[in-house]
Structures are given as C-alpha cells and as structure tokens.
Amino acid sequence: MADLFEDYRLGPGWDEMFAEPAVPRPSYETLYATLQALSSADLGLRSEVLQRAFLDQGITFALKGVERPFPLDIVPRVITAAEWAHVEAGVAQRIQALEMFLADVYGPATVLSDGIVPRRVVVTSAHFHREAAGINPANGVRIHVAGVDLIRDEQGAFRVLEDNVRTPSGVSYVIENRRAISHVLPEVLASTRIRPVDSYPAQLLAALRAAAPAGVSDPTVVVLTPGVHNSAYFEHTLLAREMGVELVEGRDLLCAANEVSMRTTAGEKRVDVIYRRIDDDFLDPVHFRADSMIGVAGLLNAARCGKVTIANAVGNGVADDKLLYTYVPDLIRYYLAQEPILPNVTAYRLEDNPDVLEYALGRMDSLVFKPVDGSGGAGIVIGSRASEEVLEKLRARITVDPRGWIAQEEVALSMVPTLIGNRLRGRHVDLRPFAVNDGVAVKVLPGGLTRVALPEGELVVNSSQGGGSKDTWVLAEATDPSEPSPQHPRGAAIPQPRKPDPGPGTGEVVAQQQQQQQQTVGEAPC
C-alpha cells in the first residue's frame, strides 16, 4: 500500500530519502520498503505506542513550566558511512581548533596579538569570563562535551550552523530515540547495520575521569544539575544513572578551603570532577550572580587551585559566540594549518565595516539574522518570512548595535519524510552530533540528534520552538573492524544449557526428586 507517501512532494531543499519522486536513495531502500508495506493505520498505531512510551518514562522537557514529551517522529533519518566519516572528521577538527582557541584567549592570547581575531570580538563577548583566566584544566581539556549544529544545504553538503561548547543538551534523546525506535521498527533495524549509540555514557565518563585533577587515581565524578525544574533534567538523570555517578544539586556540594565535597549520610565525601549542567552565571555566587541558589560558593577558586575539574570549563561561551563563529574557519587554519572540512553557512559580520552592514540591510528579505548571544533559536529573524514591520524594527536595532547581530544566507534545510497526520510529508531537519574530548582524541558519537520542524515549511528546528526529533541512523561500513559483533570467540566450548527445573507433577524428573527426598527422610539421624 503506497498510501503513506500519497502526494509526497520533494523540496524545497535537498530530500534525503528521494533523489526523484518514488525512487529512494540506496541508503533508504530498506526503510522505504518497510514503510511502503505499512498502512497509515499501522504506522499511526506504532507512532502512538512510541509517544506513550516516552510519556510513561518521563522523557520530557519543560516548556513554559509544563512537562511535555519531545515528539519523536517514527521515520528515522539515515546517514551513510561515507557521509558520516566526513562529518566526524569535520566536527573533530572544529572542536580541536576551538580547544586551542580557548586555551589561547584565557592564556597568552596570541590569536589576538597576531590579529587573527580582533581583540574587540573577544572582549565584547558576554561570555568572555575574565574570572576563568588562570584556571588551567588538568589534562588541558575545556570542551569535554560539544554539540555542533549542522545542516545540509540545497546540494546535500553538510555545513556548520553553530557550535555549542557550553552545556550542549540533547544527547539523552539520541540514546532514548534509538531504544524507542528499535521497539517499533524492529524489522528495519534487524535488516540494516546501524552503528550503536549506547556507548556514549561510558565514553563521557572516561573523558571526565581523564580530566581529574593531577594525582587523583580513582576520581569521584558527579553530575551537577540545577534541579528537577530544569528543562533538561531528564537528561541529567539519564547521564548520571548510565555513568553510575551521583546526580547532585548545588546544595549537596560544599566547598571548604578549595576542596569540594558532597554531603552524604555518612559525612562529607570528596568530589574531583563535576560535569555541570548549570550555566556559568549561576555556578559560583562568589564570582558570578550572588543571588544564585543553585550554585556552589567557592567552586571557581577550587578549580583554579587544581583541586577539582569543572566540565565543561567556565568561560567556554566565548568560543561559541555567533560572531566568533564567523572566525572559526580562520582559527582552523591558524591553529591546525588545515583547511576546514565542514564549511560554515555564508555569514556576514555586521560590525566589521559599514559597507557590509549596508549590504546586509539592503537585502534583509533574503538573509537570516541571529542575535550573537542568543541560544535555542530565540530572537532569530528569517528575512523572507518576516513582515515589513518586523524587519523595520530589526533594522533599527541592528543599526544601533551591529555587534549584537550576524546575518547568514538563508539555506533551505534538507528534508526527511515525517509522519504528519496519517501521511508522510517532507519536513526540514538539522543535525547535532555530539563530541567528547578525553584529551587524547575527539570522539564523535555516531548519530546525533536530528531535530525536525513539524509545521510545513518551518526552518527553525529548535525544541524550545516546538520541534520534534528523529532517530538518526549512521550506517556501518560493510566491514567495520572497530565494532566487532558480539559473537563468541571461535572454538570456545559453550556448555549445553540445562532445562529449567520443572514444578511438581510434571513427570520423570520429579519422580527422581521425590525419591531423593524420601531417601533423605529415611536416613537415620546421627
């Protein structure tokens, strides 16, 4: 039954499943074949099971104070091994360059004196925390976890939309989406070789342990959460649970003489590494907001003194500022002497010179404007969709504060079929791969979070803007030696399993047991 794809239209933008109508790309053939065989009622039913499972497990995020599930679309997105290799290398390269940049700006700042990045870009960044200068992380890592937002342009090429090196969230959905989809689409999973994503917590824990202060051989790692009311609380619990570490709130921690400990029922216990999911501004009331009730007083100096590692490091925001984004290709050339593997989306710095500003303001209807300090899709204006009135207001704001904005060329994001009502329709997607840096290598989790904009034609795919997500399948190479299948080593003898013991009255074996019992009874007491 082909009714699911009835009236399916390609474009605008690169369609990831179809090269032309009804002809799927090779990577999508199995999925397409499975979906085709399903009626819309079947798929709808499975989709309902999916949403229900998420709600019961409490896989939710809080939007405007209400807990709601993050809608998971039932149709996965498929990425080929070759495409992924490219993304992986590009993301790792970018994180390496940003690591070096952070070590530099909070240290010797040669990138500034060499004129690669103007000092004004750094010193005017709201996230350049001078309090972090002089904090030297134990293994040199500041970006323990990163999420790099990618999109595919009209030609299908991956481009970087923005970097997230503060406290990127969403990895829990990558893990949970896979679990959920494997329950509702077992037949496709079984016939496709997909790289697993459940090793992430172990990888993260290894990276956090590697970041422990010098001389600590068996470090205590904790996850620091703002509390149950945080929108990503579910993720904090998932990571703590799967890493097997404590999930603490600020009030559970105590900092005395630069040593951090947690309050336990058996007294205070030293903490060595804190994977914190609290923003810099709320982390330490001594240095940042004194009214913060979720932070830990004295934490920053404990880190400065080398007694505890804060992951991600304080002040990383200077590296994912949207204005700095425009310099990242230059940073890659400067620090690594390499060409960027993943290009940026063409962007304009409005504060650079009046000509650029004039140019951008002259064609506002074909550009996307982003506030440089914003996150989560807030404040973005898509010129082609905005009313004349909105654009006029924006023009006034940008003219006053050109440092506060960048402009990007509008890109028609790639599309993947998505269950809308009882039909499949093309919807725009982006991709956030997650990278973990353990100080030796930057490892990129094969998959990442695909966010999908559910309203037709919508280009902003952020979860705080009412988007959904998709499970993201990275296909394994035909022979991938890095992930051996869990088979028993050849030649090892596996003992024949025994039958489970039967209950009374089911035959032969029982008779024997009864006999034994009688024998026991019959023995003379000694």
Partner 1 sequence: MLSRIAESLYWIGRYAERAEGTARILDVHVHGMLQDPWVDQEEACRSLLKVMGVTTDATQVSTLQVVSLLGLEQASPSSVVGALAAARENARGARETISTEMWECLNATWLGLPAARIRIEQQGMHAFFGWVRERCSLLNGLTEATMSRDDGWLFLMLGRSIERADMTARLLSTHADAGGSIQSWLSLLRSCGAWETFLRTYRGALTDRHAAEFLLLDRLFPRSAFAALSAAESCLDELEQATGPRAGVATDAHRIIGRARTDLEFRGVDELLSNLSSVLSTVERACSRANTAITGRYFRATAAVTWAVA
Partner 2 sequence: MNQGWRMRITHRTWFQYDGKAATSYNEARMSPRSEGRQSVLDARVEIQPAAWLYKYEDYWGSVVTAFDLQEAHESLTVVASALVETMPSAPVTPDGPSWNDLENEDRWHEYLLPTPRTALDEELTALALEIKGAHDGPQAAALAACELVQSEVEYQPGSTGVQTDAVHAWRQRSGVCQDISHLVVGLLRGMGTPAKYVSGYMHPHPDGPVGEDVAGQSHAWVEWWSGTGWTGYDPTNGAPIQPRHVAVGRGREYGDVPPLKGVYSGPPSANQGVEVRITRLR
Alpha carbon distance 516, 510 (integer Å): 10
> Looking at residue 144, what DSSP letter applies?
S
Q: Given the DSSP bridges, would you call strands 405-409 and 415-420 parallel, antiparallel or unpaired?
A: unpaired
For the bound state, the minimum distance from the C-beta of residue 308 to partner 2, rounded and expressed in Å, comes to 13
Are 174 and 445 in contact, with CB atoms under 8 Å apart? Answer: yes
For the bound state, the minimum distance from the C-beta of residue 292 to partner 1, rounded and expressed in Å, comes to 8
Interaction mask 47-66, partner 1, x per CB under 8 A: --------xxxx--------
Which of these segments, 24-32, 36-44, 244-252, 438-446, binds partner 1 (CB under 8 A)? 244-252
Alpha carbon distance 137, 139 (integer Å): 6
Alpha carbon distance 27, 18 (integer Å): 10
Alpha carbon distance 470, 447 (integer Å): 10
Continuous segment of H or E residues that includes residue 149? strand 145-152
Tell me which residues in 273-292 interact with partner 2 (CB under 8 A).
Answer: 285-286, 290
| Structure tokens given for 228 | 């149950």
Nearer to partner 2, 337 or 400 (CB): 400
> Looking at residue 154, what DSSP letter applies?
T
336: helix, strand or coil: helix
Nearer to partner 2, 224 or 367 (CB): 224
For the bound state, the minimum distance from the C-beta of residue 238 to partner 1, rounded and expressed in Å, comes to 8
Q: Which of 95, 262, 319, 449 binds partner 1 (CB under 8 A)?
A: 262
Q: Is 67 exposed, middle or buried (0-12, 13-18, 19+ CB in 10 A)?
A: middle
For the bound state, the minimum distance from the C-beta of residue 132 to partner 2, rounded and expressed in Å, comes to 8
263 binds partner 1 (CB under 8 A): yes
| Structure tokens given for 463 | 């979860």
Which of these segments, 5-13, 45-53, 111-119, 204-212, binds partner 2 (CB under 8 A)? 111-119
Q: Which of 256, 396, 441, 509 binds partner 2 (CB under 8 A)?
A: 256
| Structure tokens given for 347 | 């962007």
For the bound state, the minimum distance from the C-beta of residue 113 to partner 2, rounded and expressed in Å, comes to 8
For the bound state, the minimum distance from the C-beta of residue 337 to partner 1, rounded and expressed in Å, comes to 43
Nearer to partner 2, 301 or 408 (CB): 301
Q: Which of 3, 29, 131, 252 binds partner 1 (CB under 8 A)?
A: 252
Tell me which residues in 129-148 interact with partner 2 (CB under 8 A).
Answer: 130-131, 133-134
Residue 432 binds which entry of partner 1, partner 2, none, with Cβ cut-offs from 5 to 8 Å by kind? none
Are 163 and 345 in contact, with CB atoms under 8 Å apart? Answer: no
301 binds partner 2 (CB under 8 A): yes
CA angle 359, 156, 321 (to 5 degrees): 50
* Phi-psi map region of 488: left, alpha, beta (phi>0 left; psi -120 to 50 alpha): beta
Continuous segment of H or E residues that includes residue 93? helix 81-105
120 binds partner 2 (CB under 8 A): yes
113 binds partner 2 (CB under 8 A): yes
Binding site for partner 2 (CB under 8 A): 112-113, 115, 118-120, 123-124, 130-131, 133-134, 255-258, 285-286, 290, 297-298, 301, 304-305
